[in-house]
Every structure is written in C-alpha cells, then in structure tokens.
Amino acid sequence: MGCPAWEIRRLACVSVRRSEFLWFFLLNPARAPADLKDMLTLLLLFAMKVAIPSELACVGSIQEGTLPLDTYVAAVEMEGIATLAVEGQVLYLNGPKVSALKAGTIQRVVRPEGKVHDPLTGNGVGYYYRDIGTIKIVTVEQNQATARVLASCQGMVKGDLVLPYAPKPEVEFGGEPSSDTTVLPQHGLASSILLGKDDLRELASGSICFLGLGAQDGVKTGDRFIVFRPYPAFNSKDMAAVGTNSDMSYSPMSTWSYRFNLRMLLHERKLPPQILGDIVVLETGDRTSTGKVINSLSEIHIGDLIVKK
C-alpha cells in the first residue's frame, strides 16, 4: 500500500516501502519539493542498495589484456534453427581446458567486444567484455562439455567465452548525494569516465559505466566519485543573445574600450566546475573500475571527469 502524504512529511516513511515517486527524488534530490528535502537527507543517511547480485552479474568489465580461449561456446541447442541460447537451453562447450570443468559447477559467460581507449588521452586502457550470463555444467567428457543456461543478460552465441564464476555481494551506499553547489575535494583521486555499458554515450541515474581508476590506485567497491565538467572557455558570441533596443532613451555602453576591457575580464574568468552527479564503484579491476550512476543533475557524457569524495 502506498505511503500517505501525511506520513511522508513525518519520518515514518523510513520504515515504509519506498515508492517509485520517492526513489525518483532520492536519485534526483535537486528536483525534490522543498518540504521533502529534509526527509530525503535523512533517508540517504541509511544505506541505499546501489546494486543487487542479479544486476551485478550483467555489468561487464574492462580487462587489461585479452582473455584466453580456454573454454568457449561451440554450439547452441537446435543449431540450424536457433542461433541464441537463453534460460533453460543447452550449450555445448569446447576448448583446451574444457576437460577440467566439473559437472554441477556454475560458470559465467562473457563476450569480447573490443579495445577501449581513454577518451581524453587516446591511450589504450584494455578490452571491453560483456557479461552474457551464467551456466551450469551438466556433463564433461574428454574434449567437450554440455551445460544449461541458468540466467542470461542476453542470448549466448558461438564464440562466447566461459570463465569461473564467483558471486558478487550487493553494493550499498550511505551518504548524501552531490548538489550543483558541491565543492570538489582539493586533492582527491581523479580520472574520467572511459565507457558506458553497451557503449552508452549519455548517462543518467541507474547507468553503468567504467572508470579510469582501479585497485592499483586504491579504489575499492563502494567508493563514491563526484562527476564534474569544466565550463567551456568564454565565447563572445554568447553576449549577442541580449540584443539592443534602438528605442531606449539612454545610450548603450558601446564604446570600444569598455567592450574590450569587459571581454578581457571574461576571457580570464574563474569558475567552479559544473557538478553533474555521483557514481558508486560496483567492482574493481587492477587499473579500471565498474560504477553505477546513483545521482545525475545533468546528462553525463563519456570523458567527463571524476574525483573521489
């Protein structure tokens, strides 16, 4: 049953099931009505589940190098009629290490997508692998194995890689999200957003992305990063947006020296960066991490900067 308005304005809603309405404002607090902001601040002091295991099984990763073809999908059930395998269907596995599999064990399936470059420097940072799902090994023979799909993020196809499976614990965050006036840490660990999951170019609350920092930099699961973007250089054409009216009774400030001095000052203006939102780390690799946008004040783009809070 939904939460009545009078209960929302009291703190009893902390123990009541959160509605979709409330979650929208939790992820976008800047848009909340004034009378809800105090309650939202209190709610955000409680740990918020950022991602649950079923979601974490489909986030993907960036690997420093290409993964070996030790075990791979060689065929799917009903090949010739079907090209994809989903939950409940059978896969046939091959590879030099397929005989080392054990019947009854769970494995994960991934798919190599391509090499990832840092959008700011152009340097290669690794290889993007999609998480495709999980399978259970049914039988193992000398040069082949049979498996059944337990869960699929998308259909499995020939050539997908089979890797050991390890369950991932849910990730929680217990803090207050950034606002458009948040001050960035002066000496925080900083980098940029490398890639969006499934090559998404514009990110918002709930989006998965990959960051240019990892365990070697001291990043760990649950860390929070503020996303920001420097303001662009001054463009004098913007001033033309305010036109002049020839019917005014006063003379405009149009002397050459005034305009020159004003534009020189504006070219040297000092501005804080634009605060775009927050990302919480879901999983870390050696040099990169996987994160989820938990708060977006504006559209977030690939290449936007991040700093550890």
Structure tokens at 60: 């993907």
| C-beta of residue 92 within 8 angstroms of C-beta of residue 73 | yes
* Position 144 in a domain: yes
pLDDT of residue 257: 81
* Position 5 in a domain: no
In this structure, the answer to whether residues 113 and 66 fall within a common structural domain is yes
In this structure, the answer to whether residues 103 and 156 fall within a common structural domain is yes
Total domain count, the chain: 2
* Position 261 in a domain: no
Domain boundary among 109, 136, 164: 164
In this structure, the answer to whether residues 88 and 148 fall within a common structural domain is yes
Q: What is the pLDDT of residues 81-100, one digit of tens each?
A: 888 999 999 999 999 999 99
| C-beta of residue 96 within 8 angstroms of C-beta of residue 161 | no
In this structure, the answer to whether residues 203 and 298 fall within a common structural domain is yes
Q: Considering the entire predicted model, what is its pTM?
A: 0.77
Say what percent of the chain tops pLDDT 90: 60
Q: Could you list the residue range(s) of the whole structural domain that residue 115 is in?
A: 58-164
* Position 123 in a domain: yes
Q: What is the CATH number of the domain that holds 73?
A: 2.40.10
Domain boundary among 164, 188, 211: 164
| C-beta of residue 303 within 8 angstroms of C-beta of residue 120 | yes
Phi first, then psi: give them for residue 299, nearest 5 degrees: -60, 135
Q: What is the pLDDT of residues 48-80, one digit of tens each?
A: 788 888 889 999 999 999 999 999 999 999 888
Q: What's the rounded mean pLDDT across residues 110-133?
A: 95
* Position 263 in a domain: no
Q: What is the pLDDT of residues 249-282, one digit of tens each?
A: 776 666 778 778 888 888 888 888 999 999 999 9
Q: What is the pLDDT of residues 190-215, one digit of tens each?
A: 999 999 999 999 999 999 999 999 99
Domain boundary among 164, 189, 211: 164
Q: What is the pLDDT of residues 20-31, one digit of tens each?
A: 455 455 555 556
In this structure, the answer to whether residues 138 and 190 fall within a common structural domain is no
* Position 48 in a domain: no
Q: Quote the CA–CA distance of 236 and 126 in Å, as a whole number.
A: 41
